[in-house]
Structure formats: C-alpha cells, structure tokens
Amino acid sequence: MKESRSSQMLELLKSKSDSWVSAATLAGLLGVSTRQIRKYVAAVNDGLSVPVILSSDKGYQLCQKAYRNYQLTKRQRVDTPSARQNYLLQELLINEELLIYDVADTLYVSMTTIENDLRLLKEKLKVISLDLVRSQNTVRIYGEETDKRKLMSQLISQAIGNHFVFNEEIDLLTFHYQIWGFRSAIRNIFDECGIFTNDYALNVITLHLIIMIDRVRSGHPLQEHVDLKKVETQPGYQAAVAIAAYLFREFNKELNAAERYHLTLVITNNTTQIDHEKINAQNIQNFIEQRYIEQAQKAVKQVEDHYCLEPFSEDFIAKFAIHIQNLFFRAEHHYQINNPLTDEIKLSYPLIYDISVSIAQYLSKTAQLEINEHEIAYIALHIGSYFESNGKGKMKVSCCFVYADYYAQYIQIINKIRSQFDDQLIIQSAVSINDFDPSRHPAELTLSMTELPGVPDALVLHPFLTAGDMIALSDRLDKMIKQKQGELLKSQLMEFFDARLFYNAVPKMPKAELLKRMCKDLEHLGYGSSHFYTEVMAREKMSSTAYNLVAIPHTLSKDIQHNFIFIAINEAGMKWDSKTVYIVALLGISEKSRRLFSEIFDQLVEIFSESQAVMDLAASKDFKQFIHKLCLKMNHGMEE
C-alpha cells in the first residue's frame, strides 16, 4: 500500500469527520479506483480490534477515538515486536554476535521481552535454513553464507517496498554505497557485453551485488567449492568477469570463484542476449531451442481452451517462449527469484493470476519443474499484456452521437472520443439533431452537442472538447460499465447457489478435510465426480486460493455436471494454510459454461474484497440470510 495515498485518505476523512464520504468521492480526490480505496481502508484497519475507518452503505467515516490510538501507535511503532526483531536481525548480520543485556538496555525493554523476540526469530529463521544460537549472554546466527545473504535480501526488499525503489542508505549494509551510480555502472557493462535487461531485473542484480561486495568487504566471502567450467559458457559469465574487475577497481577486493559463479547465475537468470523488440514468430527459432517454443505453444493452447480465450498472437508466443526458456534454466539450477509484486498481482488481477497458475501447473506436470508463486507472478505479467492488448473482458457501452453543426466538426469529436474510449464505448450511430428520434436511435448512452429535452440523461459536450468533457465521459462510462457488470454478475451468480450447498458455523478442521467433506457432498448431489477433490487440491498446492479473508478454491474440471458455488462460513474464522478466512466459496463451472469463469471470477473476488462485508456475510444465520446480504452487497456495489 502506498503510504502517501493512505495518509492523504486519512486526512480527507479527518477533514470530514462529521459525515460519510463515498468510495467514489475518495477515489476521485486521490486519483485512484474505488477498488484501490477499499484496499487502503483494509490495510489501515488490518490487525486492529477497533477499525480506524468505519464503512457503511453511505461510504467511509473516521472513528475519532480509534484514529487517535492509531496515530499514537504509529509514532511508537519502533517499539513493536516486528521492529525489534528486524533490529536484532540487522545487528546480528552486521556484528555476528550480540550481548543480550546490551540489546535490552539499548531498546529500553526487559530481558523477558528480548528473549520472547529471540524465540520468535529462531522459528522464522528455520524456514530459510538458519539457526539462532544462544550461549549464556550472547546470541548469534549460524548457517550458510548464501542463506544469510538471502535473509539480507528479504529484509532490504521489505524495507524498500513493492516497487523496488532504492534508498541511498540501507541499514543492513556495513558500508555506504552510491547505489544509483553503482546501478548505472552495471548497465554500462551489460551494454558493452550485448546483454539486455529491464529496470526491475537490473535492480535485482544491483541488490545482489551490493550485498555480495558488502559481505566480502566485511570478511564473509562465499567458501563453497564450485566448478566454474559449468558457467563459463553462459552469456552472463563475461559480464560477471567485467563486473568483478569493476568491483576490484572500486573497492580493491577480488571476487573468488564461488562469488563469480553465483554472480553468473544471477546475471544469466535476469538478463538475455535477445532484444525483445526484434523478436517475432518468424525469427524466434534463431534464438532459442524448439522445445521451449513448443512448451510455450502447448501451455498457451491449454489456457485458450480452458478459459475460452481468444487466440494468443504468434508474436506473443515467441516472446513468451523466451520467458519459458529462462524459467527452465532457473529450475534446472535451483535458482529462486523473488517478485515483490506477487501479492499485489494475486489480489488485484485474480483471473490473470489464475490463468498463470494453470500454465504453471501444465509446465510442472509436463517438465517435472517446481514452480513457486513468484514464478507464477512473472508469468502473470506476460498474460496481463495479452489482456491489455486485446481488451479481453472489457464491457462496452453503446452510444448514439447527436451533432448540431454545419462544418463536420463532430467528426473530429467522434474520432477523439473513439481514440480515447475505444475499449469502453461503441458509437453505433451519429445523427443530426434535426433527425434525432430516441425511439429510432436506441442506445445506452446519448452524447450530444446541445441539450436534448427528451433525453434527460444525455451527456452534453462542448463544440470543442474540453478536459472537463473527457473526465465527465470517463466517469459516466465507468459508472455504467460497473452497473452493467454488476447486473450481469448478479443474474449469473444467483444460478450458482443451492441451499443444500451451504455450511454454517463450520467446526475447526484442516483445509484438506473441509474440502474433502464439501466435495463428497457435491458428488452425492450429482454436481461432480470423485476426481474433483483431487483436482481442487492440486490447484491449492500450486498457489493458495485465499484472497484476504475469503478462500475461493476451484478448478476447471471436465467432471463438473452443473455450475455451483458451495459456501462454508464461520464468523470465528477457519485456518487456510497460514491465513485465516471467514468464508470458503468452492466454485465449480461445467465444461459447457467455461466462458463464464473468465467473466465472473475477478468480480467474485471483488465482491469479497471488503473486510467488513465479509464479516457481515460470515455472521449469517442461514442460507436465506446469506443470499439476502449478498444481494444487498452487490446492489450497493452497482450504485457506487
């Protein structure tokens, strides 16, 4: 979440403390979508027993008492367990060993508090193969140097945020570095070596290099034995040698074989010798092996069929094949990437992410690859470009344009409107005001260059389009499309529910047990076969289907006989891997209705995006009350 935007939102609500402010108003003032406003609100309220921002069908309002406590807590956040634990990790990585009594004195906390923090840290470090060892009054981290560097990378990535913008000062480093100058030097070396990379990948490499040289200068080089011959033929090796020479000139430190080996892997996995701008379907065979092209073609064909998508272009597949090649290389060398945008992509673009999971499942099955959520998020970036370019999923508003001039000025206006709103608007007809008859020119929206007494909802534009005209048209289209989507979604979704597919106050049980129970009921009622559970769990294994406080497990199985949404609720919460959810919506769509999935999945996640609405739905006493509340929620969403 962008802190500046959330702070602005809080200030706006504070200035209107006696009234409710709609999501649309806040979105307009901050220049973001209403969906983003809901995310800001959820982030501010996250983990608080009393929400700072109250929500209702009227909008949002600040809870003054909770806000005062929030501000106080914010000022004191350096004293939180999380802040103390980060401080401990930083000091341990820099100083190797800490005196516990000294740390307690420095942080003005008790020994008991520090010991609790150390116990929690020990559990966290186990996940990355590190150990926290205490000997009387001292504590230190034990483990491989590569794992310590991974820890440093994670902590620095968390500190600089999702968009990977470096600060000039990084607390975890022993020495000071001119990071942007460092980054520029690396780019120049890549240019000289004929290597291409994007800004994000360049930041990944820069971070690796900064941590590497800092640890080497601090006396902690990698000590493992490596065989450089394995990577000397890799395109990144010559760049690694050039960077090693640059680092020697700058810091008078030589990189040993192990450092050069790992540096080569990082460069090779984040760069290419192929200029993407020059790649197309006709020349891709000149750059990569045919097997990667075939894998890309087959993976894409599968999702086209599964999700009823328009065919991907040959040029898209060519560029995607390069990504597949790099993915295979990473998997074969056990190199794991980190994508700070993973959670954001999963929550903001659930359909695109789900399609990417399907591709990952295919590759995992056919090539026996282990593919994690970060790799899936990178696949999603490619799939997202497909959606962006062909307008998949875009709903349009039909329009009649009524003109009143003699010099064909309206043609220029229409062309300008079409160029800017082509993905939202279809101008079906253009007619002179003298010939206009609403009954003969039906349309969802009428645009006019003059007032139309018989069409009160017509949007009147100036003879020369102004910025205000374009904003007004954009707002009107957004509202109309949202209403159309809501109406369509409501009519489609209501057919998915069945009173027999509803669990209330679900007792505590593991995720797998709950899903097995739900799938057995589905089989008994004739909705699907015994294979459905296995397929649902396979999808869960690739990537959890928990979205905030709701889980939407699903799979596009051929064995589903009828469309359904099986609801399980518990206002006390249900464990879903590491998260707690309050609603489980098990979704099934029959093969003949596959196209529906791409139409409703994003919006189904959107319905459950507001924490307060989820808690209200989870408190439903029975199926009838749940459906009633859900309809109210969808109606309110259409009106925003």
pLDDT tens digit sequence for 112-138: 989 999 999 998 899 889 999 998 889
Lowest mean pLDDT among 256-265, 427-436, 515-524: 427-436
**What 3 state SS string does 192-209 have?**
HHCCECCHHHHHHHHHHH
Mean pLDDT confidence for 526-534:
92
pLDDT at 4: 47
Nearest to 445 by CA among 416, 421, 412: 421
Mean pLDDT confidence for 407-435:
86
pLDDT at 494: 85
C-alpha to C-alpha distance for 108 and 373, rounded to whole angstroms? 39
C-alpha to C-alpha distance for 315 and 235, rounded to whole angstroms? 24
Residues 388-400 have pLDDT tens digits of 766 555 678 999 9
pLDDT at 310: 84
pLDDT at 405: 67
Q: Would you place residue 78 in the very low, low, confident or very high pLDDT band (cuts 50, 70, 90)?
A: very low
Asked if pLDDT for residue 151 goes beyond 80, the answer is yes
Bigger pLDDT: 5 vs 529: 529
pLDDT at 87: 81
Among all chains, which residue has been given the structure tokens 């460069």?
A: 267
Q: Which fold has domain 497-639?
A: Mannitol-specific EII; Chain A (3.40.930)
Lowest mean pLDDT among 77-91, 183-197, 243-257, 406-420: 77-91
pLDDT at 73: 60
101-115, 388-402, 541-555: range with highest mean pLDDT: 541-555
Q: What is the mean pLDDT of the chain?
A: 87
Mean pLDDT confidence for 489-510:
89
Nearest to 329 by CA among 285, 369, 359, 365: 369
pLDDT at 399: 93
C-alpha to C-alpha distance for 343 and 346, rounded to whole angstroms? 5
C-alpha to C-alpha distance for 218 and 261, rounded to whole angstroms? 20
> Domain 397-477 class?
alpha beta
Residues 260-302 have pLDDT tens digits of 999 999 998 888 888 877 888 899 999 899 999 999 999 999 9
Residues with Cβ within 8 Å of 301's Cβ and at least 6 positions away in sequence, in order, are none
CATH number of 78-143: 1.10.10.10
In order of 90, 108, 172, 614, the CA distances from 101 in angstroms are 17, 10, 22, 46
pLDDT at 79: 63
Superfamily of domain 150-270: PRD domain (1.10.1790.10)
pLDDT at 289: 93
Residue 562, SS3 per DSSP: coil
Mean pLDDT confidence for 557-582:
92
pLDDT at 42: 81
In order of 204, 211, 377, 483, 622, the CA distances from 326 in angstroms are 15, 24, 14, 42, 51
Residues 456-479 have pLDDT tens digits of 899 999 888 899 999 999 999 989
pLDDT at 438: 85
pLDDT at 1: 30
Mean pLDDT confidence for 154-176:
68
C-alpha to C-alpha distance for 412 and 497, rounded to whole angstroms? 49
pLDDT at 75: 45
pLDDT at 5: 67
Terminal Cα-to-Cα distance of the chain (whole angstroms): 22
- Give the other-Cβ count within 10 Å of 188's Cβ: 12
Residues 505-523 have pLDDT tens digits of 899 899 999 999 999 999 9
**CATH architecture of the domain with residue range 3-75:** Orthogonal Bundle (1.10)
Q: What is the DSSP letter of 21?
A: B
pLDDT at 404: 80
pLDDT at 2: 33
DSSP 24-67: HHHHHHHTS-HHHHHHHHHHHHTT-SS-SEEEETTEEEE-HHHH
Percent of the chain with pLDDT over 90: 45
Tokens of 611: 């924490």
C-alpha to C-alpha distance for 383 and 393, rounded to whole angstroms? 13
